[in-house]
Amino acid sequence: MVLHTKHRLGVSLLAGLWILAVAPVWAVPSYEELAKHYEYDPTMPLDPEVALVRDAGEATVNHVVFSSTNGERVPALVAIPKKGDGPFPALVLLHGYTGSKDDWDKYQVFDLIAGQGVVCIAIDAQLHGERKVEGKDMYDPKDLRSGLDAMIQTIVDCRRAVDYVLTLGQVDPQRIGFVGGSMGAILGAVFCAVEPRVSCCVLVVGGADWGVMVEKSMIGVALRARAAEPIDPDQVREALAPVDPLHFVGHISPRPVLFQNGTKDIIVPVEANKLLIEACGEPKEVDWYDAGHALPPLKLIPRVFGWLQAHLGFGPGAAE
């Protein structure tokens, strides 16, 4: 069939409108471009301030404050095994939203892990713990730019935490792992992608695709945001692309990743959990628990602990 000119123009116009309708409203930057947000000068002084918290149990725990980018001073807790001289493996730990570095000590993680010969460092994320700022929130839908900056800062601060533990002279640089929960897993997926010194990581109830998380999460801040005004998921995706694990987690491979998730999670929605897992390369292991956002500790802790022992080489049976 031959179309007349005006018919061809009409078809072309309709095709163009259809393409505009289904095409993304923005282009995802390349990984290389996104990763530039996390570049920094590793030779900048750390200027650590160290104060003893306790010297009892299985670990010596110090309160440390070190320098990061943008003039930030980052508070951290550092646990050093009391038995052995090293070199020890190390773990970087990142807490969840509204939490702090102190959560890890409160649940005796330091004694559990350091007692097996592992150095631990847990920082306060920006706007959390000792870094709280009145009136500011990591996830303020009215101020996505500020939240983006805070998340980027936290990820760079995790890189500086690696810099710090390596100055101790007791850490094996080939055996540095990461454990993060919820927000800590979301930001941790980005951190582990851009930080090549991390050799393995555990992501607990993390997710990907900020559009999905803001649109479907039942956490209070998301509920309030949706109640106040309609949410445009694509606008959120574009604004938070530099901190979306969807664009990063695949670059952790070939380093191993362990995912721990709940089949009934409504805080970091199951859809977001699955997107994170699917975007990750191999090797990876995935466990699903019949639980919500809070996973059963009697199952979670032995699983994570055993996996870390196998991949970082510590505890009973570790090579001398």
Least confident range from 2-16, 74-88, 97-111: namely: 2-16
Is pLDDT above 90 for 72? yes
Q: 316: pLDDT confidence band, cut at 50, 70 and 90?
A: low
Give tens-digit pLDDT for 248-287. Answer: 999 999 999 999 999 999 999 999 999 999 999 999 999 9
CB count, 10 Å around CB of 231?
A: 16
- How far, in Å, CA of 66 to CA of 62, rounded? 12
User: Please, which residues bridge with residue 260 across strands?
Assistant: 204, 287
Dihedrals phi, psi of 119, to nearest 5 degrees: -80, 135
What pLDDT does residue 294 have?
97
CATH number of 33-306: 3.40.50.1820
Report yes or no: 190 and 157 within 8 Å, Cβ to Cβ.
no
Q: What's the pLDDT score for residue 318?
A: 55
Per the model's pLDDT, the better-predicted residue between 254 and 21 turns out to be 254
pLDDT number for residue 291: 98
The per-residue pLDDT for range 172-210, each reduced to its tens digit, is: 999 999 999 999 999 999 999 999 999 999 999 999 999
Residue 10's pLDDT band, with cuts at 50, 70 and 90, is very low
Domain ranges of the chain: 33-306
In angstroms, the CA 264 to CA 284 distance is: 21
Between CA 122 and CA 78 the distance in angstroms is: 7
Coil, helix or strand for 48?
Answer: coil
Q: What is the pLDDT of residues 138-184, one digit of tens each?
A: 987 778 889 999 999 999 999 999 999 999 999 999 999 999 999 99
pLDDT at 21: 40
Asked if residue 205 lies in contact with residue 185, where contact means CB atoms within 8 angstroms, the answer is: yes
Asked whether 88 and 115 are in contact (CB, 8 A), the reply is: no
Q: What is the pLDDT of residues 223-247, one digit of tens each?
A: 988 998 888 999 999 999 999 999 9
Contacts (Cβ under 8 Å, ≥6 apart) of 220: none
Rounded Cα gap, residues 203 and 173, in angstroms: 21
Residues 125-138 as b/e (b if ≥16 CB within 10 A, e otherwise) read bbbbbebeeeeebb
At residue 52, φ and ψ (nearest 5 deg) are: -70, 130
Give the chain's mean pLDDT. 90
171-181: strand order across its sheet: 49-56, 59-67, 73-81, 119-123, 88-94, 171-181, 200-204, 257-262, 284-289
- pLDDT of the residue at 27: 86
Q: How far apart are alpha carbons 188 and 168 in whole angstroms?
A: 23
Is the predicted pLDDT of residue 85 greater than 60, yes or no?
yes
Q: 115's torsion region: left (phi>0), alpha (psi -120 to 50) or beta?
A: alpha
Residues 228, 221: contact at Cβ < 8 Å? no
| pLDDT tier at 108, thresholds 50, 70, 90 | confident
What are the tokens at 264? 């009934």
